[in-house]
């Protein structure tokens, strides 16, 4: 049961706009001070012995779901997708040349869009280029986001053969009325066929994406969706709150706003799904993930080894992430580099032999310190500030400004501070981003500018 007290506190903070902290500084603070030449310098300076992670973005889907907030566009034919895959192969070559050595890779993640839209031959060509350019470790996790409607037995076999170890399926909601309202008709039989094809091919690690906050969802529909999802036994479930931003994603205007749950209903939907997942034995991880106790993510969370990057919560501990494909963001000790989000410009840059970076952010020591603190708060709901500061060669005085901003959430019972150990309370867990934001100097500066302006 959601107590009245916790509802009141959550509603108080619900309208505050705070980042999801999949990076720090967050993407809105990226600028044009970083280009392909900057990235080339960072890549050349990578250490020899630390495994890398690679993220590949495929910005195409067969049709655009009304709710979609991802960077993607519709491709009715295969030609643009095949051409895009050739661009991926070229970009991998450019990155490898900038690194200048064959470095180990511990994680590969394909996101989108719908990477499963790549024709099998194109997919194989990209994987072959990865194998030629990097030393992909035998223990590497190789994960792909898949639309169940595109998963055939042939595709599943090709994915398994190429080394895919984990598949993440966009399920969203099983209710027919909700599916109609979100423009994604996906009968349960489609999901069954996709899961059977993947498991039949030997891809045993399956994640489901579910969403709450969608039109026409009720306690009953979400309970039913979670029960049906559980029936498939996915080892992980992500439960994303629908982000409705029709001014930014114009196709979201197809969503009937009158049918959207209000702020209080959204909280109740999330709590309902959360409590049923707990009854089914899923462990809650961070803000929006759930995993069976023997899943690597649940184990990492228990051991304090959970991480957060642009894909959200991850077991990936690599400190360098290479982003391949339009709009992808890479991260290394030097900073963040984001590829051009325009497919045409990205393609032209790659064709011309240039790393297709359009913006980014070079990091200083203060950024790295605050990023480490925010990551621990988001992943562990607790952080020993003395320990993290000491690991960065400073004392807690370096983040003294955060204590003032923590006063309100602490007074509201969202967090406690004992000495310099900050802990997010049960009440504060859904609002962990508010607690994390106390360490965000970019947000604080923007807020200060804003209040001066008014
Ligand atoms: C790239 S898609 C997953 C793969 C594939 N494209 C699919 O939809 O089946 C990533 C996930 O983002 C989530 N998502 C998409 N739009 C969203 C939005 N506006 N708000 C919150 N989550 C969203 C969905 O759960 C979706 O499964
Ligand atoms: S939710 Fe997935 S399939 Fe639907 S438009 Fe977005 S990326 Fe494409």
In the reported structure, the alpha carbon of residue 69 is separated from the centroid of ligand 1 by a whole-number distance in angstroms of 7
How far apart CA 202 and CA 188 sit, in angstroms, is 21
Domain check: are 124 and 263 in the same one? yes
Predicted confidence at residue 4, as pLDDT, reads 65
pLDDT-based confidence at residue 9 (cuts at 50, 70, 90): confident
What pLDDT sits at residue 454?
A: 31
Does residue 4 sit within a domain?
no
Instruction: Report how many domains make up the chain.
Output: 2
Q: How confident is the model at residue 446 (pLDDT cuts 50, 70, 90)?
A: confident
* ∠ CA 62-64-66, rounded to 5°: 150
Query: Would you say the CB of residue 114 lies under 6 angstroms from ligand 1?
Result: yes
pLDDT of residue 3: 63
The pLDDT tens digits for 197-245 are 999 999 999 999 999 999 999 999 999 999 999 999 999 999 999 999 9
Q: Look at residue 452 in the predicted model and tell me its pLDDT.
A: 38
Distance 67 CA to ligand 2 centre (A): 8
Centroid of ligand 2 to alpha carbon of 348 (angstroms) = 25
* CATH at residue 409: 1.10.10.920
Task: Assess whether 77 and 215 both reside in one domain.
Answer: yes
Domain final residue pick, 302, 324, 346: 324
Between the alpha carbon of residue 445 and those of residues 11, 368, 377, 401, 439, the distances in Å are 25, 18, 21, 12, 11
Q: Which domain holds residue 390?
A: 365-453
Q: Where are the alpha helices (DSSP H) in 353-437?
A: 365-380, 385-391, 400-411, 432-436
Residues 6+ apart with CB under 8 A from 415: 406, 409, 422, 423, 424, 425, 428, 435
Closest-lying ligand to the alpha carbon of 69? 1
Ligand nearest to the CA of 62: 2
Does residue 355 lie within any of the structural domains? no
The number of angstroms, rounded, from the C-alpha of 428 to the middle of its chain's C-alpha atoms is 21
The CATH number given to whatever domain includes residue 290 is: 3.80.30.20
d(CA 272, CA 141): 32
Percent above pLDDT 90 for the chain:
91
In a domain, residue 358? The reply is no
pLDDT (tens digit per residue) in 168-184: 999 999 999 999 999 99
User: Quick one: tokens of 97?
Assistant: 């040349």
75-115 per-position pLDDT tens digit: 999 999 999 999 999 999 999 999 999 999 999 999 999 99
Starting at the edge strand that comes first in sequence, how are the strands of the sheet with 135-146 ordered?
Answer: 283-285, 289-291, 236-241, 205-212, 166-172, 135-146, 104-112, 52-58, 321-324, 329-332, 335-339, 357-362
Q: DSSP character for 248?
A: T
Model pTM score? 0.94
Looking at 324, 346, 375, which one is the last position of a domain?
A: 324
Can you give the C-alpha Rg of the chain in angstroms? 22
Whether residue 336 is contained in a domain is answered as no
Q: Which of 15-29, 44-58, 129-143, 344-358 has the lowest mean pLDDT?
A: 15-29
Burial 246-270 (b: 16+ CB within 10 A, else e): eeebeebeebeeeebbeeeebbbbb
- Give per-residue pLDDT as tens, 293-304: 999 999 999 999
Q: Are residues 372 and 318 in the same domain?
A: no
One domain, residues 261 and 375:
no
How many other β-carbons are positioned within 10 Å of the β-carbon of residue 293? 11
């Amino acid at each position: 049961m959601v107590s009245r007290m916790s509802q009141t506190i959550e509603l108080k903070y619900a309208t505050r706009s705070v980042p999801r902290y999949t990076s720090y500084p967050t993407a809105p603070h990226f600028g044009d001070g970083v280009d392909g030449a900057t990235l080339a310098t960072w890549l050349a300076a990578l250490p020899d012995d630390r495994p890398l992670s690679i993220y590949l973005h495929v910005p195409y889907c067969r049709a655009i779901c009304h709710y979609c907030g991802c960077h993607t566009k519709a491709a009715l034919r295969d030609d643009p997708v095949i051409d895009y895959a050739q661009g991926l192969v070229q970009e991998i070559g450019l990155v490898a040349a900038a690194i200048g050595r064959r470095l180990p890779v511990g994680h590969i993640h394909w996101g989108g869009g719908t990477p499963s839209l790549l024709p099998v031959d194109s997919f194989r060509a990209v994987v072959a280029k990865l194998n030629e350019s990097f030393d992909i470790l035998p223990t590497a996790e190789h994960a792909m986001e898949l639309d169940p409607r595109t998963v055939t037995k042939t595709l599943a076999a090709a994915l398994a053969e190429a080394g895919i170890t984990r598949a993440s399926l966009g399920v969203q909601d099983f209710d027919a009325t909700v599916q109609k309202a979100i423009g994604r008709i996906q009968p349960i039989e489609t999901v069954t066929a996709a899961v059977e094809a993947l498991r039949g091919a030997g891809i045993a690690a399956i994640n489901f994406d579910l969403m709450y906050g969608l039109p026409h969802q009720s306690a009953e529909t979400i309970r039913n969706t979670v029960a049906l999802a559980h029936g498939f036994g996915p080892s992980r479930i992500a439960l994303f709150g629908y982000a409705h931003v029709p001014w930014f994603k114009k196709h979201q205007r197809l969503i009937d706003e009158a049918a959207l749950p209000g702020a209080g209903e959204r909280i109740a939907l999330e709590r309902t799904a959360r409590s049923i997942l707990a009854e089914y034995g899923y462990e809650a991880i961070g803000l929006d993930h759930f995993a069976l106790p023997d899943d690597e993510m649940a184990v990492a969370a228990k051991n304090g080894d959970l991480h957060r990057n642009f894909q959200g919560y991850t077991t990936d501990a690599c400190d360098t992430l290479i982003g391949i494909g339009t709009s992808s963001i890479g991260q290394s000790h030097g900073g963040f580099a984001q590829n051009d989000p325009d497919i045409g410009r990205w393609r032209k840059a790659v064709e011309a032999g240039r790393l297709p970076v359009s913006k980014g952010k070079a990091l200083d020591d203060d950024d790295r310190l605050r990023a480490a603190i925010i990551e621990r708060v988001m992943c562990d709901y607790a952080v020993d500030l003395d320990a993290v500061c000491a690991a960065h060669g400073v004392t807690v005085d370096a983040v003294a400004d955060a204590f003032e901003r923590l006063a309100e959430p602490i007074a509201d019972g969202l967090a406690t501070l004992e000495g310099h150990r900050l802990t997010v309370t049960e009440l504060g867990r859904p609002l962990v981003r508010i607690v994390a934001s106390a360490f965000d100097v970019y947000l604080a500066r923007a807020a200060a500018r804003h209040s001066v302006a008014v």
